[in-house]
Structure 1
Amino acid sequence: MEHIHQFISAEIPNIQQDPALYSLVKEFMIHGPCGAQNVNYPCMVDNKCSKNFLTNFSKHTSIDENGFPIYRRKNDGSFVEKSGVQLDNRNVVPYNKYLLKRYRAHINVEWCNQGSSIKYLFKYITKGPDRATVTFVQNNSGSNKDDIVDEIKEYYDCRYLSACEASWRIYGYDVHYRNPSVMRLPFHLPNQQQVVYGADDDIDNVLNQPSVASSMFTCWMERNKLYKQAKKTNLC
């Protein structure tokens, strides 16, 4: 896990080696003081820090049983003074050195390896803003003609492309992809199907499996039939 330190740090830098980074970490990336030292800090909920500070010292970066990183925070005596309180590496919010120097602002950088984290990051980008459509139409009350509704035009008017989807289309990437584009649906004559089984499998159990009498073609036909029935009953 040492490669994580190339991108993420959770320690106070040496003031002699990099005084500029030290000042930025002190100004933007130190949490607190909270807890018993300041019970009125905004993060305090039920007399506990809602951001899980103070963290523990750690000599090495590791991953806990839930897949979350435990960053290296050495107990080397480094500290910064904030509001009259000395805060050490346990109060450092994980950051990227380049981004911190580049933008000179609070930028919390975390290492993640879970799909739920990616979904959380992109769900607000892809869902788009709310939109209301208002139109002026001629009042046909008194006439027997039904109002003409152009469903295709309404679909395009209410369509929304987010920034990431627009970029994907501008660069010409595939929106849908399947390889091969045609799927084979093999089927067999009666009693001429292929049956795959292990050397120790019971022959009666093998012959009684539902998949023995079916094929890719018949499964697809049955699934398509069920889909049509569900569509007629407004189930999908």
Structure 2
Amino acid sequence: MRDSKCSKKFPKPFQTQTSTSDDGYPKYRRRSPDQGGQSATVRNYDIDNRWIVPYNPLLLKIFDAHINVELYSSIKSIQYVTKYINKGSDQATFSIQSPNEVETYQSGRYICSSEAVWRILSFEVHDRAPTIVHLAVHLENGQRVYSSYALKMISRKLTYDRVPSYYTWNQSSKTFQRRKQGTVVDGFPGIKKTDALGRVYVIHPNNSECFHLRMLLHVVKSPTSFAHLRTVQGVIYNTYQMACKAMGLLEDDSHWENTLSEQLFAVPLHH
């Protein structure tokens, strides 16, 4: 649906075929009476297809309201819908003149009928789902976090970003604790899971070690120490970047070297 503020001026020009303009809005076919279009006289006004907007008779009958329907082929249509759904209540500024000609200005809030009913019935005004838990990243000795989740059996299969689904962070004790509400996990008595998602804070690549530490936290399951994160196949690497490279998480020129080696051995030698 489109309101009067966004409607284009009428009457529209006649058009033989439907086309899409540069801004994504369609230009519908509007045949003139000479081309088979319809015309009529309503309340002493002559109207034709130039004055008709796309509509759905079923919706008009159901809602008993003015509803026009259009088909869009641009991202602007999504922006339009999102803007008008989330823009909040309208506001208006008006003035009141008293008999003594003293002018007072007030900022008034307009509440439409649908919002009034929504609030009278005590419906939730807003909601967010699922829960997003932000997870911090720090280098060794940067911040101490005492975590008990690594000692639990279920956590042996979890990476850092999946921990919030099963555990909650206790800010006072600085520890992860089992969730008391949620769906029971089969095979793990006492463990419950929710749809909460963990999102690790973004680290700029210029902060190389912390950036590669964040990368390892999404791969290594149930790390028990910082040294554990740097351990790959029993080898403890000095840096997180070296550990990422050993795990194949970083791109290098090895695939080019392997390709050249394969081509070299594939070329027959002539004496």
Q: Would the TM-score normalized by the shorter structure come out above 0.5?
A: no
Between structures 1 and 2, the one with greater strand share: 2
Higher relative contact order (CA 8 A, sep 6+): 1
Between structures 1 and 2, the one with greater helix share: 1
Q: TM-score, normalised on structure 1?
A: 0.36
Q: Which has the larger radius of gyration?
A: 2
